[in-house]
Structure 1
């Protein structure tokens, strides 16, 4: 996409501090639970204590006798839920809602509701003999050549089985919903990543026109994917508000979050790779399966990236899901890709060891010319540069390839690496740009910001497109009354929302210029639009420069015309580039670990990564994203594991004491660099997705470093000390 007119590029690409930082650190930012609505009531869930069965009786008497308890909802008719409310499909399923005048009373009342069940032993173990495996509905099996025959003819082969534990999102902000009705119109303050989809979900749940629902979510305190779906507790809050005819707020407890808002599913994988003696890959077999719920469906795309990352003539890739009596898994940062990368990148490391070849050399020797799954060229692909630059910056040349050979006193030291790839999603998005008579601008879009810095990056894009100072531009989001946006997920926001903001701001700037050059009273009258540039909100003749007296500001034009403002609403629709090109972001991750010889505890000493992520709008925010992904990868590799009691389906470590996540003491020196580049095939601003990409190779790099330190190839994550004894 090209535009005839230009503006001074001054802030995109600069490490601008978060424009929303002051309101967050001063406590002025209002998250969902911070809103105080007159007449607000409080709700608490009663959750099932069995995982499989039928609800026989619900005794609400003791709860209703409490002074501040107003109602106990057990009849959920009038709202659509994803499961049969007469049955129990998973441990922790909502079976009743207590409403009271205080939060304490609602919680106390929920503890007094007596629910009797007819229960059956649940099936919650993905490895159980009776567990059914079925093909994915969305993720299809794939093959090229004859991998099973070809792999038997290879000179060197690795064949590994991988087991990765269930992980939970555990964002800082607890999910909270406030709902209020005015006749048949519903307003919801909520924690969501997808404003438009949530609005439609509520409308469908209650049989309302979509425009009868307003969804407000200006701030989201972390999510990692858990808020990209509207969950049952959210619509039950709206149901309670309708029944009570008053606003109702429901906030999940930390324990309830483990059963109510999804998780990264348990997975099992087999990865077999065969090569000739020169290290050329000849065949690959990748088999994977993940758990899902019986009442819903979620498929984790762990088999996708391995199909295209390296040049392999013969490949077979299969995927199965295992329905169990569990809650619904859901997208979690780097969904599928980070799990599949553990299998692929650890197997590549193992193959390199068997070949006595440097792991980086093995990867570079098998760099593909095209995407082998489609035959399409890559829009851009600079993985080899990520590998070489990353290796140089990290100090890869100091690595001893012999496992267990590097020691520091009573500690083993190991270095490992992994490559990473993640698809660049692009979706249709709309935005409106306005410039007001006071010389300020506002952009509106119904997107979300769960923490990556959307407010800031979009303000930068808009300021540059309008040719205005950053301080005079405001970006507003988080309201379904704004132009519709796609999900704030799958790393699509910068490409999709950014392109819509860019387009709307460009068109508004063009509108101002056209108005000026056709206005006899304008100093720019008679000029060609292409000869006008905007600098600091002032339209000037291009040849004259910023200091020219021949020009006028947006503000001057609006005042002279007597207008309160001028606006432009635009919709950006991705072209068919994804039918002609393979559009991915890439990276190379390097990790160093230190392992106590006696215990043996694993500590990550440092992580460094180099990324090919297109144009970076804000290096400070991008670096922050990378650091966050590395922390999440440390958790997945070494700490995080959801423990189920398979006898009743209960999650036994549903708290922050027993479910371990990285704390400051676990976080070492982390750093990342980004190749200077842009991908204008992907979108007009040249960006690729980043938020998912930055976690993808981290667990694999750590696991490979553990092998280099100890000689033990651990394929069961997290890597806990008993697996190294």
Structure 2
């Protein structure tokens, strides 16, 4: 059994001493040519011989049960093979790291659009026709709560607090006490949820679009009632996930169940509307943010309460105040969450759960406090950076927030910022805004195997690449550690027969699974040092040459056949002694049209502290992508629900508006601090993608206010809301 390395103390900065020079460089993705040429194989590609096609049938009631499914109603349709249903059908995807199947509803229906059966046909068209025509009898129940604002059951947790809140808040000279709302959102990954299931005896081979295969393997096994060792999942390429593919979904479970019953492979691809209807969404929120400060800008009280929602019996609740609890210090802090139960599409992790919506409101309210105090928003933030974690007392690991704020202000030209409404170009008000960014950093258990042969090295792990650049980054880590150019490193991913990785999620994938690659390669370095007759810290590996112990040899000459090492890492004592997080600062310029209320983002700048940068190009792409999602949350993204049934009516990308190229400014810049986080992992790196989202939308909102004087408290800032704000100001 592989020995587990625990991160119990800071590790030497070995990657600063290696001489290959590939780590951190903006290396192109080795999988890029496959993707742009269409040769990359995604979940629904390359159907096995004899594959049948399945289309999910979904409930048309909000609450009740399935009384009968009349398979004979479509038995005479050409090409229809049959109908598959039963208690194995899951009502929604598993939450991230569930490691087991979610609630099995049997015949119970809990929301409109819940998967209840699968129609299988010789072609997709035949299956779709059958699914549309299938007769299903329901027994609907009245009184289903579909509006979280009027839900009959609301679970309110105990407040989490330090200090004397009432005294600190009431005694302060300046206060902000605001209620904000944020709209529900969906992940909207480019590749829809899809699966091809094929049984080989009593073993299941599943090709599926999933983010966390080590956990997904156990989840599908639990759904089907089979041993996990009888499951192999393949996901070498995943076309985006954003949290929606963290857990096993109804497409995979239905395909596997149907393939087992029919004795042939079954392919299930969920149409975009079905993804919107039945894949985990982000909750809408109502948030109350309170700040109190003395006249000099010193915070005395920080409060952030929120109300979120989820389906009955679901355990997930959006961690809205996750960043609010550590970014700034005060005499007293207070946080409380309420969870409303309803019968809508269930909620779960979507693109930076917590700070993506929490930082929208938190940083917007802090901007309002800065205006009250007549203190520059950057200066207000710098005044209130705590020395230790305000809630836990933990020491911070490497923290570059102050440098991000100062450097961002200088590079953006923040000092030229004027008063609200001071700058106008024709019909456009012009303004700038800023916000801090934060994202807790995590180290998740992960394993990897590295093989060194005379011709190069191979990295093996079931880690996924969801568009984040894993193939490139792992090649760089192994190449740097073993003195090889990255093109001499082969990376094998997305196969559960390989060592189990952390998976892609929570911005922890590259650092967690990458650390396992690092440790396995470090073991190989130790063996090479032994062969060279020197200590490991004396060994230099560069361009295929080993140097140490007054000797120089080709690495290939030190490898008789191959050297194989496997490593596993998990969090340890440093996670208890130190709080690790990514930090950043966003600066934005917008134009607001005086008559239409249209908001155009003209430029964005993000300065990020992510510890060691593993690949500058992929890191920048992740940060830019996050900033785009932040822009979308501020201006365009909004799910609408039918007030009668609770089902989503903005069910595709024609009606649900993610930020497009036309919405994104040409001038979008990102740069990184040259930092190391010694307590995070052996590579001193941190995650980046979700950090880019955090605070970006708040900077847009703050810029709208600086442009025209309008403060909005309801995200997103659609033109109707801006126009109403302008009218209220008499503009």
- TM-score normalised according to structure 2 size: 0.93
Q: Deviations over 1:224-272 (max 9, x none)?
A: 1110011233211110111011111100000001122211111110011
Q: Of 576, 580, 583, which residue of structure 2 is paired with 1:579?
A: 576
Unmatched runs of 5 consecutive residues or more in structure 1: 518-525, 544-549
Shift in alpha-carbon separation, 1:408–1:110, aligned structure 2, 3 A: same
How much has 1:21 moved relative to structure 2? 0.6
Shift in Å at residue 275 of structure 1?
Answer: 0.7
Q: Secondary structure at the match of 2:317?
A: coil
Q: Separation in 1 of the partners of 2:227 and 2:86?
A: 24
Alignment-derived partner of residue 98 in structure 2: none
Match of 1:60 among 71, 74, 81: 71
Q: Deviations over 1:429-468 (max 9, x none)?
A: 111110224x121011111111110110111011001111
Partner of 1:522: none
Equivalent pair of 1:294/1:326 in contact (CA under 8 Å) = no
Match of 2:555 in 1: 554
2:83 paired residue among 72, 81, 84 = 72
CA distance in 1, matches of 2:618, 2:487: 18
- After TM superposition, give the deviation of residue 540 of structure 1 in Å: 2.7
Q: Corresponding residue for 1:432?
A: 449
The CA distance in 1 between the partners of 2:587 and 2:28, in whole Å, is 27
Give the Cα–Cα distance (whole angstroms) in 1 for the partners of residues 292 and 720 of structure 2: 30
Give yes or no for the alignment of 1:118 onto 2:139.
yes
**Cα separation, 1, equivalents of 2:572 and 2:89:** 41
Contact 2:89 2:104 in 1 (8 A): no
User: Which of 703, 706, 713 is the matching residue for 1:705?
Assistant: 703
Q: Aligned to 1:535, which of 535, 542, 552?
A: 542
Q: Deviations over 1:520-551 (max 9, x none)?
A: xxxxxx555554422222223365xxxxxx53
Q: Does 1:367 align with 2:385?
A: yes
Provide the TM-score with structure 1 as the length reference.
0.94
From 433, 441, 446, give the equivalent of 1:416: 433
Q: Gapped runs of 5+ residues in structure 2? A: 1-10, 91-100, 724-731
- Identify which of 224, 230, 239 aligns with 2:248: 230
Q: Which residue of 1 aligns with 2:6?
A: none
- In 1, Cα distance between equivalents of 2:475 and 2:694: 28
Of residues 469, 482, 487 in structure 2, which corresponds to 1:453? 469
Q: How does 1:224-373 map to 2 (within 5 A)?
A: 224-373=242-391
Q: 1:384 — aligned with what? A: 402
Shift of 1:3: 9.2
Assess if the C-alpha contact under 8 Å between 1:121 and 1:648 holds in 2: no
Shift of 1:506: 1.4
Question: Is the counterpart of residue 105 in structure 1 residue 116 in structure 2?
Answer: no
8 Å Cα contact 2:20/2:541 also seen in 1: no
Match of 1:200 among 212, 218, 222: 218
Distance 2:543 2:56 in 1: 53
> Is the 8 Å Cα contact of residues 395 and 579 (structure 2) preserved in structure 1?
yes
Equivalent position SS for 1:660: coil
SS of equivalent residue, structure 2 residue 205:
strand
Aligned to 2:689, the other structure's residue is in SS state coil
> CA separation in 1, counterparts of 2:591 and 2:659?
16
Q: Does 1:147 align with 2:165?
A: yes
1:81–1:535 distance in 2 versus 1, CA, 3 Å: closer
Q: Choose which of 449, 454, 459 in structure 2 pairs with 1:443.
A: 459
Deviation at 1:404, TM superposition (A): 1.5
C-alpha distance 390-7 of structure 1, shift in aligned 2 (>3 A): closer
Taking structure 1 as reference, are residues 698 and 528 closer, same or farther at Cα in structure 2, changes over 3 Å only? Answer: closer
Match of residue 228, structure 2, among 204, 210, 224: 210
Correspondence for 2:694: 696
Residue 18 of structure 1 pairs with residue 36 of structure 2 = no
Label 1:74 to 1:205 Cα distance change in 2 as closer, same or farther (>3 A). closer
Partner Cα distance (2:130, 2:410) in 1: 61
Does the Cα contact within 8 Å between 2:54 and 2:121 map onto a contact in 1?
yes
Aligned length: 700
Structure 1 SS opposite 2:579: coil
2:593 paired residue number: 596
CA contact (8 A) 2:21 2:480 kept: yes
8 Å CA contact retained: 1:60, 1:112: no
> Is the 8 Å Cα contact of residues 148 and 285 (structure 1) preserved in structure 2?
no
8 A Cα contact 2:475 2:489, kept in partner: yes
Q: Aligned partners of 2:707, 2:88: CA distance in 1, in Å?
A: 59
Task: Tell me the CA shift for residue 372 of structure 1.
Answer: 1.1
Deviation at 1:131, TM superposition (A): 3.2
Q: Does 1:628 align with 2:628?
A: no
Alpha carbons 1:430, 1:572 under 8 Å: kept: yes
Contact 1:122–1:649 under 8 Å retained in 2: no
RMSD (Å) for aligned C-alpha atoms: 1.7
Q: Structure 2: how far apart are the matches of 1:29 and 1:267?
A: 38
**CA 1:584–1:71 in structure 2 vs 1: closer, same or farther (change >3 Å)?**
same
Map of 2:192 onto structure 1: 174
